[in-house]
Structure 1
Amino acid sequence: MTAGSAGRPFAGYALFFLTSALMASNVVMGRAAAEAVPPVGLAFWRWMVAFLLVLPAALPDLWRNRQALLADWRRLMVLGALGMGVCGAFVYVGLEHTTATNAGLIYASSPVLILLIAAVVLGERVGPRQIAGIAVAMAGVLAILARGDPDVLLSLSFNAGDVWILAAATAWAVYTVMLRRSQTSLPIVTLFAANALAGVLILAPFYLWETLSGRPVVPSADAALSIVGVAVVASVMAFLAYQKTISLIGPARAGTSLYVMPLWAALLAWVVLGERLQTFHLAGALLILPGVVLATLPTRRA
């Protein structure tokens, strides 16, 4: 074994934790930007800037594959609507009404939602262990939604922000299943650029409506810093780090970075935003994280 190959796992797992932190930064920066940038405007400019940043690298392949992209424009628009539109704007709408800690924990249920949707849409088999994991993880999500108060569950009077985050996590699960179902030979960066552009086009009319309704993006240092932060750190850097992590430790291990994300979200929210952990956060984490692991842990045969 060469020194380079021996160091790959260490570099891979270091990048693994960096990737999860970059992913978690989105909810923290989104919460911090709630008063500086309206939610749809933040999502629109996030993906516009991200698209422009990757365009120089993606442009040759975008042009080379223009016929295939045009032929597949409907699917690309749906992917852009789910992955960049709903997952972008809904998260930022939710963060106007809930904490980054809540958002990180609720979003951690995405692998379980992916499993459920794949079972319904793709007919993938769900075994007893996975069913148990789904039940435990969903109990954790309910603990976060109820904020430790059983009366909230009985009256269904959930915090609106938490519901928006759950809707975004569901959209991300549908987006992931669609990506899994659709085979493509396009390079990863090219597909990222195409999806980002589709997201910009989907968000544009809603951004215009938000602006005309009295919530424009007012140019300021805080607004610019927020947009650049979510575009560069939570989008392009997180994407590149995730792709490099896959190449170093494989997609199965790299995919579990979502399990670590809520821990980073809670830590960053405490340091940056001054958010404090509540008892229901701990109860939710103790249910969601083990439940997700139990539901998504591969079998020996797999």
Structure 2
Amino acid sequence: MKAGSGSQGTLALIATAALWGSNHVVARAARDAVPLPALVFWRWLPAAVILTIFALPALRQAWPTIRSRLGGLVVGGAVGVGVFSYLLLGGAYQSLAIEVGFINATTPVWVLVLGRWMGGGHLTAGMKGGIALAFAGTLLIISKGQPQALTEFRFSLGNLWSLLAAISFAWFTIRVRDWTRVIAPLPLMVVTGWSGLIVVMLPAYVVCLATGGPWLVWNEADLGFALAATAYVGLAPTMLGNLFYLYGVATLGPARAAAFLYLSPLFSAAFSVLWLGEQLAWYHLGGIAAIFAGLFLLGRFTRKPAGARSDPALVP
């Protein structure tokens, strides 16, 4: 690999982390202007169309393999793209963007937990310690540093949505790892993206319209701001973020590329403070410290079998 391509791959992955970190920050800012079903639908539709155009040659080549697995891909896209998008952006509509970003950082923990559970693997003591630390950090953020909130159900519903988003995407990531062994990432992203769009996002959007909801913006809101916010989350984090990530994986490899994703919640926190005026509290800092410590332990004590392949996971 040439040095230039490695440098460009690094820049692409830093840009990916920044774009994905900004996703729910912009959604938080748009919550009073755009109904959630409209934002989720229009976030993906333009990106899906453009990515499909880019992916046509690869789609034609991969179609026989895709067709034989189409049922599973549709389910995967419905959960990992459609439901995940609602949970992630819905979390941002109801909770601080800082908290959504930090809770979303627990996705690798849930990948390991679900992977071991689905595959029947064994968790070592070190891995269990890492999971416990990350989970404790998540609970600290969800409860806002007040343990009684967990028993009195006074914690933010948006934080619960964000946690469910991390778990649902972890399940999707495990499926992606299997699919990318036989299907290239770009056509896979297009198929699962359209699946989430058609099976989940479109019906929810139609219901919103049928019950009197606006096509994009609430009557009293600024149409220009609504269009700008929707275009940004659709074209920047969704389309460019995935393309940059694919380029970074191609130039640096999936293992090195995945490490850059830990920058995403840090970008999210910075954007939340700068753009939304949110404040970092002690439980945010304590929670993310515990999450990162847990991720470090998981990385240290997780060993892959010789010759095992590390596949890229796409974040829609």
* CA shift for structure 1 position 167: 0.8
Q: 2:88 aligns with which of 91, 98, 106?
A: 91
Change (3 A) 1:301 1:85: closer
The equivalent residue for 1:217 is 215
Change (3 A) 1:152 1:19: same
The one-character-per-residue Cα deviations of 1:166-219 (angstroms, maximum 9, x if unpaired) are 111111001011112345533322111111111110121111112222333335
Change (3 A) 1:18 1:274: same
Residue type matched to 1:217 in 2? W
**Mapping of residues 209-288 of structure 1, within 5 Å:** 209-218=207-216, 220-288=223-291
CA distance in 2, matches of 1:94, 1:213: 22
Note if contact 2:82-2:196 (Cα within 8 Å) is conserved in structure 1.
Answer: yes
Note if contact 1:25-1:233 (Cα within 8 Å) is conserved in structure 2.
Answer: no
Residue type matched to 1:55 in 2? T
CA distance in 2, matches of 1:247, 1:62: 18
CA distance in 2, matches of 1:53, 1:112: 32
The one-character-per-residue Cα deviations of 1:217-260 (angstroms, maximum 9, x if unpaired) are 33522222122111111111111111121122221121122321
CA distance in 2, matches of 1:212, 1:300: 50
CA distance in 1, matches of 2:9, 2:59: 29
Q: Is it true that 1:70 corresponds to 2:73 in the alignment?
A: no
TM-score normalised by the chain length of structure 1: 0.92
* CA shift for structure 1 position 136: 0.3
CA distance in 1, matches of 2:87, 2:22: 16
Q: 2:23 aligns with which of 26, 48, 52?
A: 26
| Superposition CA RMSD, Å | 2.0
CA distance in 1, matches of 2:107, 2:62: 31
Q: Is it true that 1:167 corresponds to 2:170 in the alignment?
A: no
Q: 2:297 aligns with which of 276, 294, 299?
A: 294
Choose 141-150 or 238-247, whichever is displaced more: 238-247
Residue type matched to 1:97 in 2? Q
Residue type matched to 1:241 in 2? F
* CA shift for structure 1 position 293: 2.1
The one-character-per-residue Cα deviations of 1:147-167 (angstroms, maximum 9, x if unpaired) are 011211232332111011111
Q: Percent identity?
A: 31
Choose 104-113 or 35-44, whichever is displaced more: 35-44
Residue type matched to 2:12 in 1? L
Residue type matched to 2:9 in 1? G
Note if contact 1:119-1:125 (Cα within 8 Å) is conserved in structure 2.
Answer: yes
Secondary structure at 2:279 match in 1: coil
The equivalent residue for 2:312 is none
* CA shift for structure 1 position 37: 1.5
Q: 1:80 aligns with which of 72, 77, 80?
A: 77
The one-character-per-residue Cα deviations of 1:237-289 (angstroms, maximum 9, x if unpaired) are 11111112112222112112232111100001111111111111111111011
Change (3 A) 1:117 1:37: same
Residue type matched to 1:149 in 2? Q
Note if contact 2:133-2:294 (Cα within 8 Å) is conserved in structure 1.
Answer: yes
Choose 96-105 or 214-223, whichever is displaced more: 214-223
For structure 1, which runs of at least 5 residues remain unmatched after alignment?
none
The equivalent residue for 2:42 is 45
Secondary structure at 2:137 match in 1: helix
Change (3 A) 1:67 1:149: same
The equivalent residue for 1:208 is 206
Aligned residues: 299
The one-character-per-residue Cα deviations of 1:81-121 (angstroms, maximum 9, x if unpaired) are 12211111111222121011000000000000000000000
Residue type matched to 1:242 in 2? Y
* CA shift for structure 1 position 43: 1.3
* CA shift for structure 1 position 9: 4.2
The equivalent residue for 2:13 is 16
CA distance in 1, matches of 2:184, 2:297: 32
Secondary structure at 1:161 match in 2: helix
CA distance in 1, matches of 2:132, 2:27: 29
